[in-house]
Amino acid sequence: MKVILTIAMIAICYGHIAYGIRAPTITIHPTDFINDRAISRDGSGDVVIPCLATGDGTITYSWRHNGAAIQLDNRIKLVDGNLTFTGVILNDAGTYICLAANQYGTSMSREATLQIRLLEYLGGVSETFTKDINDNARLRCQISPKNSPRPNRIYWTAADGNTVAESTHIALTVYDGDLVFIAGWPNNTGSYQCHTIFNSIDSNTGSSSEIRYTGNSQYVNFTTTTTTSVALKIEVGPNSTEAVLGQARVVLECVVTGYPLPSIRWQKKSGTLPINRYAFEKFNRHLVLKQIQSTDAGEYQCTAISGSSQVTASATIRVTTASQWTTAITDTNQPVDSDFLWPCSASGSNIKYRWYMNGQLISSNTKYVVNANGSLTIRKLASSDTKVYTCVAYNNISNIASSGYLNVTIAAPAFTLTPYTRTTLFQGQTSTIRCTVTGGPRPVMTYNKNGAFVDTLLYSKYTVQLNGNLIIHNVQPSDAGVYECTAINSHGSAKASGEAIVVIATTFTTPVATTSVRRPKSFSLSCTVQKATSLSVALYWQRNNVNVSTSRATVTTNGLTTTLTYANSTLADTGTFSCVAATDVPFVGYVPKSSSAVLTVNDVPDAPFNTGYSQLTESSVVISWQPGNPNNSPLLRFTILYQVNTITAWRIAEDYIPVSTTFRRVTLSPFNSYRFKVIAVNAVGTSPDSSILSFATAGAVPYFAPGEFRASGVPGDPTAINIRFTPLSREQQNDAGISYRLYFRSTVASSVWLFRDIDSSGSYRLTGLTTTTTYELQLQPRNNKGFGRERTAIITVTTGSLPPTTSPTNVQAYVIGTDSVKLTWTKIATPTTRATVVVGYRITFWTYDNSIANTTSYGDIDKATIVGLSPYFTYNFKLNAYTQGGDGPYSSTVSIYINNVVPDAVSNLRTSETVKSRVVVQWDAPTVASPITQYKINYTMLNSAGVAGTYTVNYTVGAETTFTLFNMNAGVYIIIVTAKNANGFGVPAQIRSPVNGLGPSAPTNFTVVTIRQTSIDFKWTAVTDATAEFIIQYRNATSQDVFLNASSNPLASSVRTYTVTGLTASTSYSCQVLAISNNLLSLPSNQLTVTTSSITAPQTPFYQEVWFIALVSATGVLLVFLILVFFVRGEKRKNKNGGRYFAHPENEKKPAVPPLPVDEPDEEVKRPPLPEENHQTEDNFRHSDVEVDSLDSMDQYADLPHLSKFNEDGSFINAYGDGGLRSKRNSTDTTSFMGNYSEARFDANASYHAGSYAPTLRSSYPGSPANTINPNQSAFS
C-alpha cells in the first residue's frame, strides 16, 4: 500500500503530540499496618509508610491523612517520599494517601490503613455458679469489645495454675474466650482464671513481643445432685464470615451444651466440604477451611445430636476477592474537540471506582461522567483537559490506584502504523483495511475502492473505527480491489492506498470435540482445517494456552488433519485443549486461529472416609462420613447400606442422600447385629466401599405387628375361623421368646375381647365360636421383653360364611409421584352366593421384609393409590379380595422402584360420533411434573358374549388430547387412553363406548311379556335390516360378568319373541337384545332389569293352629260324653231286646253292594297320580255335584263318583283285606309320593275297622286344607 501525505500547514504552532512525556508514576505504594502488623502506642520506635514515584524532572511528595493534608513536624516527617513517625499516638490511626507531582501533573497512590493497638485489661467481675452434675456452665473471660485487634491467644488456668485443656465436655470459645462446661463433672468444681496474650510486631525490624493480661477468678460448683438429661442448647453458633480469596485459614465455631454429651457434625448445605482443604478441630466444634477459594462461598451448618434430639445452626461464608487490574489506565493522546471514553476496570468482589484529576476527586457532571464499569467519559476535549488522571478501584478489603497522562492533541492527520501495501481478506469473515491515523481534531475518514466512493453510512457492510481502520463484514470475492483512505481535519490531510485480495478463510471443518475419559484410558483429539491454496498453515496443539510438550503426548498430522493422543491419562490432564491453525498471511505473518474444547479425565469417586457412628440406641444410630475426592466428576449422592445378622445381602438403609450431607440418623431394630458402609456416586459410577462399621443393638419389645394378617371362614365348620399371618422375621422380633396373642370378640353389643396365645407357625384355627356370628380379630406379638407396641388392624369374619376362592389378576403398579404408586387390577368374578359377595380388597406392601408389611383395606374397587412411600426404594405389592367370610388368596406380587414418575390416568375420557362410523375420542391431560409427550389409544370391540377381542393400537403425534377413529363397525368398544412422558407410559384409563358405526341398527322396544319362576318371555322390534338375526343376552343384575347368550345360535330374522329359560327363581337379571348381520353386531337394545317369580312361602295348615287343636279337643270330649250316653242307652235297649245289636226286620231289604268303578278293577288298586312339577294340585271334583250338607253318612260317600266304595260295615271295599296292599301302602315314600308335601302323620280321627287304623296323609303344602276332597291325594281327613 502506498502512503501519500498532504500537509496543509505546519501544525507545530497549534499543538503537539505527547510522545516521550513522562508524568509521575507511583511505583511503590503505601502498605497497610493492620491486624498482626498493627502498631502499639508505646511511644517508642519509628513507623515508616513507604511511597516512591518516577517521572520527568523533579518529583515532589505530599500526604493526606483521612482525606486531609498532613502537617509535617518533628514527629511526622517526609523522607524521600516516605512518611515517617517517631512514636505513634492513637490519633495517628486512619488512612493515608501519597501524592507525587511534577511539571505534567499529580499522581495518587492507593489508600493505606494504619491500625493502632488498643489493649484494655480484662473485666474485674468475679462470678460464682452452682450447677448439678451433667449440667452446663459458662465462665466469661470479660474481654473488652474495645480491644483492637483481638488477642492472639486466650487460655484458662485452674486454681492449681495448670492450663485447662479442652475435651469432649469442656470448650473454649474462639472470639469471647469464655470457658464452657458442656456437661460438668464433680472434679470440675473449682476456681478458674482467663489469660490473654497480644503479639506486638516492630514495623522496622519485624521482631515481636508479647503483652499479657489476667482476669479475676471465676468459681463453679457442680453439686452431688445428678441430672440425667439436659436439653441441647447452642451456646456459641457459627458466625457469618467474610474471607479473602487465598486466605490461609477460616474457622467456624459451634459450641453446644447438653447431656448426654452431644456429637457435632458439619456440612455445606449446597455442596460438599472442600476436598483436602478442611479439617475438624476441638472435638468437631471447629470447622476449619484452608486456602480459601471462590467455591468455598456458601452456607455451612453444624448439627448437634444427643439421643433422639438435635439442634442446628448455620452461618454464611462470603469469599471476597481483592481488587486487581484488568484494564489499568496509561498515558494517551486524544484529539481536541472529541469525546473520550477512558477505560478502567478491575476484577474482584463488589468493585467500585473513583477518579481523580491531578489529585482532586472528579464528581460526575455534564463534562465528566464516571461510569459504573469504571470508565471515565470526558465531553469535547480541550487543551485544559491535559492533566494526570488517577483511577482508583476498591472494595471493602482492598484498593488499587492507576494513573495516566491525558494529552489533548492539536495536529494534522498522521498515520501511526505503517499501512499495508497488500491486505489479505478472508472470504465469509470480517477483515480490516488498516488505516490507523491520529490528529487533532479527529480526522474525518473517506474511502474509495477502485476509484469509486465507498458509502460507509449507507450499508451495514462497513464499519469505520475511531482510529481510521475500515472493517469489512462478510467478505466476498467482489470486495477485492484497490482501496484508498483519506484522513482530513482542519490542520491537514493524509492518504494511504493499497491492494486487497480475497482468499478462502482458514476454517475448522472438524472442530475439537468436548470429551470425557475415565482414567487411565488413553484419549485422542482431532481437528481438520481448510485453507487457501496460496497460503501455508502450521498446525499445533495447546493445553490451557500452553503448547503441549508432555512425553505422554503424541501428535500426528496427515495433510490438514492433526491428531493429539495422550497415553495413560491422569486426572491432572483435564483442561482446555486447543487445535491451533496458524496461517502465514503476507505482510502480517502467522495469524493463529484455534478450535478449543474441554477434555475431562475423571473416575469414580474415592471412598468416603472418616466413617463413624454415634448416638447408638436400641432403635437408631447416627452414621457419619466425609466425602472422598470426586475425581473430576461431581458427586451425585451418597448411599448407606447395611447387613443384618446372618443375611449376606447388602440392603439400602438410605439412598440419594444429598452430597452436602455428612451424617444420617438411621432407624434400627433391637436385638440385632449390624454392619454399615457408605458409598458415593458420580456420573462415572459408584465409589469403593467405605470402611465397615459394626455394632449390635439391645433388646426391646416388638415394635411392629405381624404383616399379612388374614382370617377366613372354614368350609364345613360354621364354628371356626382360620387365621394366617407372616410371623415376624428375626430382624423384627426384637428379643428372644417370640409368640403371639390372638384377640377376638363378636360384634354383638357389650362383647368383650377374648384371647388365645398361639405360636409362630403363622397359622391357627380358632374354634368353638357361635355360628353365623361376625367376629373382630386382632394379633399382637410379644417376646421376653413384653407385649409389642402394636396390634394388627381389626379384621372381621362371619362364621358359616366362606371367603373368595380366587385372587385378583392383572395387577399393575405405576409410580405417579415421588412418594405414591397407583395399583390397578382385575376384580374377581362375582360370587353366586350372598355369603361370598365381595366386600373389598386388601393391599399389602413392603420393601425388604414382608413380616412387617403394611396392609390397607379398600372397598369393592379395581384401583387404588398408595401414598407416603419412600423414594428410591423398591416396593412389593400384592392384594386379596375379602368377603363376610374373610380373606381370599393373594394375587401375584408386583415390584416397582420409586423413582421415575409416569403420568396418572387421563380424566374426563369421552367419545362422540357426530358422523356415523367416525368416533372422536377426547380426554383431559393428567397433571404430572414431566410434560406429556404422547398418548396411546387402544381399542377393541366386544363380541356377542361381551368378550374383548384383539386391541388395535394408535398414537398421537404429540400431546394433543383428541384422536379420531375412522370406519368403525357398529358395536360396543373398549377404548383405552394412556399418557406418556419422558419416563414412559403411565396409568391407562378406559371407557366402554357404544358406536352406531357400520352394521345393523339396534333393536328397539325390547319389553317383557311374561315372567315365571325359571323363564321370561320377551319381544322386540327390528328397525331397518330385514336380514338381521338376533341374539338375546342376560346376566345377573348385580354382576359385572360378561353377558350370556340365551341361545346357542342367533335367532332367525323373522323372530320377534323369545323365551329365556333355565333361570333361577327370585333373581334379578339384566337383559338385552342385539342384531347381527354379515358378522357385524349392532349396539344393544335398551337394557331391562327383570326379577323372576318367587316360590310362595309355606303356610301353616289351619289344623296346626292352636284354635283348631283346642276345638278338636273340645269336640273329642263332647264325643266321649255322647258315646257314654249312647252306651248307657244301648244297654237299656239291649236289655229290652235281649241282644247286643239292633236287628233289622227280616222282611227289610238290604241295600245292594255297589259295583266297582269302570277304571278300578277289583284285581288292582290304582296309585293316585303324582303332583305336577309346579307342585300345584288340580281339583277335578265338581263340588257342584255334591250337596255338602247332605254328606253325613258313609253310604252317601259310597255313591259319589270316582271314589272308592265302602262295605256295609263302613270299610273300604278291598282296602284292608289284602295284606300285600297294606304293606305296600305302608312302605310308600311320602316325600316323593307327595312331591313337596312336607309331612305325613297318622290322624287321630282315622276310622277304625277290623283292628286296623286307616292312616290319613296330611300335607302342609299351601292350598291343600285337610277337609278338601281331592282325588290326587291318597286319603281324606
Average pLDDT of span 482-501: 93
DSSP 532: -
52-61, 833-842, 991-1000: the lowest-pLDDT one: 833-842
CA angle 923-926-930, nearest 5°?
A: 135
- Is cis: bond before 871, omega within 30 of 0? no
- CA-CA-CA-CA dihedral for 1115, 1116, 1122, 1126, to nearest 10: 140
The answer to whether residues 445 and 53 touch, using CB atoms and an 8 Å cutoff, is no
- Give the pLDDT band (50/70/90) at residue 817: very high
User: What is the rounded CA–CA span in Å between residue 1132 and residue 214?
Assistant: 154
CA angle 534-537-539, nearest 5°?
A: 165
| Residue whose C-alpha cell is 512425553 | 551
DSSP structure string for 438-450: EEESPPEEEEEET
Residues 6+ apart with CB under 8 A from 985: 902, 903, 936, 978, 979
- Greater confidence (386 vs 1037) lies with 386
The answer to whether residues 304 and 267 touch, using CB atoms and an 8 Å cutoff, is no
- Give the pLDDT band (50/70/90) at residue 703: very high
- Greater confidence (264 vs 1138) lies with 264
Would you state the pLDDT for residue 1101?
66
Q: Per DSSP, which regions of 898-1028 are E strands? A: 907-915, 918-924, 934-941, 952-955, 962-965, 971-981, 984-985, 989-995, 1004-1011, 1016-1021
The answer to whether residues 411 and 15 touch, using CB atoms and an 8 Å cutoff, is yes
Would you state the pLDDT for residue 1132?
60
Would you state the pLDDT for residue 352?
96
Three-state DSSP class for residue 340: strand
Beta-bridge mates of residue 865: 822
Would you state the pLDDT for residue 1195?
42
User: What is the rounded CA–CA span in Å between residue 529 and residue 510?
Assistant: 7
The answer to whether residues 135 and 223 touch, using CB atoms and an 8 Å cutoff, is no
- Give the pLDDT band (50/70/90) at residue 1238: very low
Phi, psi for residue 386 in degrees, rounded to 5:
-75, 105
- Give the pLDDT band (50/70/90) at residue 1130: low
Residues 6+ apart with CB under 8 A from 83: 30, 48, 49, 51, 63, 70, 76, 77, 96, 98
Would you state the pLDDT for residue 1253?
33
Sign of CA dihedral 115, 121, 127, 133: positive
| Predicted confidence (pLDDT) per residue in 586-617, tens digit | 988 999 999 999 999 999 999 999 999 999 99
Average pLDDT of span 683-690: 96
Average pLDDT of span 1097-1123: 76
Q: In what order do the strands lie in the sheet with 523-530?
A: 507-510, 523-530, 561-566, 553-558
- Please name which of 647, 646, 638, 699 lies closest in space to residue 668, comparing C-alpha atoms: 699
User: What is the rounded CA–CA span in Å between residue 200 and residue 205?
Assistant: 12
User: What is the rounded CA–CA span in Å between residue 634 and residue 551?
Assistant: 29
User: What is the rounded CA–CA span in Å between residue 1031 and residue 1017?
Assistant: 14
Would you state the pLDDT for residue 1199?
43
Would you state the pLDDT for residue 355?
97
Top mean pLDDT of 198-212, 618-632, 830-844, 1127-1141 is at 618-632
Q: How far apart are the first and last CA of the chain?
A: 150
Average pLDDT score, the chain: 85
Would you state the pLDDT for residue 1212?
43
How buried is 710 (Cβ within 10 angstroms: 0-12 exposed, 13-18 middle, 19+ buried)?
A: buried
- Please name which of 723, 700, 705, 701 lies closest in space to residue 791, comparing C-alpha atoms: 705
How many residues in total does the chain contain? 1277
347-361, 587-601, 1263-1277: the lowest-pLDDT one: 1263-1277
User: What is the rounded CA–CA span in Å between residue 963 and residue 949?
Assistant: 21
User: What is the rounded CA–CA span in Å between residue 1072 and residue 233?
Assistant: 77
| Predicted confidence (pLDDT) per residue in 664-674, tens digit | 999 999 999 99
User: What is the rounded CA–CA span in Å between residue 939 and residue 952?
Assistant: 5
- Greater confidence (259 vs 1252) lies with 259
User: What is the rounded CA–CA span in Å between residue 1138 and residue 1131?
Assistant: 10
Percent of the chain with pLDDT over 90: 69
User: What is the rounded CA–CA span in Å between residue 1143 and residue 1137?
Assistant: 9
Residues 6+ apart with CB under 8 A from 486: 445, 446, 447, 448, 493, 494, 495
Going by DSSP bridges, is the β-strand pair 422-426/492-503 parallel, antiparallel, or unpaired?
Answer: parallel
Residue 20 scores a pLDDT above 80 = no
Residue 1229 scores a pLDDT above 50 = no
Residue 1214 scores a pLDDT above 50 = no
Residue 1100 scores a pLDDT above 70 = no
Would you state the pLDDT for residue 1000?
84
- Please name which of 1057, 1015, 709 lies closest in space to residue 886, comparing C-alpha atoms: 709
CA-to-CA dists, residue 1256 to 1073, 1226, 1233, 1259, angstroms: 53, 11, 14, 10
Residues 6+ apart with CB under 8 A from 602: 516, 517, 518, 519, 571, 574, 631, 632, 633, 682, 683, 684
The answer to whether residues 156 and 192 touch, using CB atoms and an 8 Å cutoff, is yes
Phi, psi for residue 1184 in degrees, rounded to 5:
-70, -20
The answer to whether residues 488 and 412 touch, using CB atoms and an 8 Å cutoff, is no
How many beta carbons lie within 10 A of that of residue 1225, not counting itself? 18
Would you state the pLDDT for residue 449?
93
Phi, psi for residue 187 in degrees, rounded to 5:
-75, 0
How many beta carbons lie within 10 A of that of residue 838, not counting itself? 18
Phi, psi for residue 315 in degrees, rounded to 5:
-150, 160
User: What is the rounded CA–CA span in Å between residue 30 and residue 44?
Assistant: 22
Would you state the pLDDT for residue 313?
96
536-550, 567-581, 1016-1030: the lowest-pLDDT one: 1016-1030
- Please name which of 589, 422, 601, 425 lies closest in space to residue 523, comparing C-alpha atoms: 601
Would you state the pLDDT for residue 604?
97
Residue 312 scores a pLDDT above 80 = yes
What's the grid cell of residue 1100? 301353616
Going by DSSP bridges, is the β-strand pair 82-86/179-181 parallel, antiparallel, or unpaired?
Answer: unpaired
b/e per residue, 299-309, with b = 16+ CB within 10 A? ebbbbbbbeee
Report which residue type is found at 1157.
P
Residue 942 scores a pLDDT above 80 = yes
User: What is the rounded CA–CA span in Å between residue 49 and residue 72?
Assistant: 14
Sign of CA dihedral 729, 734, 738, 742: negative
Would you state the pLDDT for residue 36?
78
Average pLDDT of span 86-105: 92
- Give the pLDDT band (50/70/90) at residue 1163: very low
CA angle 1205-1206-1209, nearest 5°?
A: 170
Average pLDDT of span 1132-1155: 50
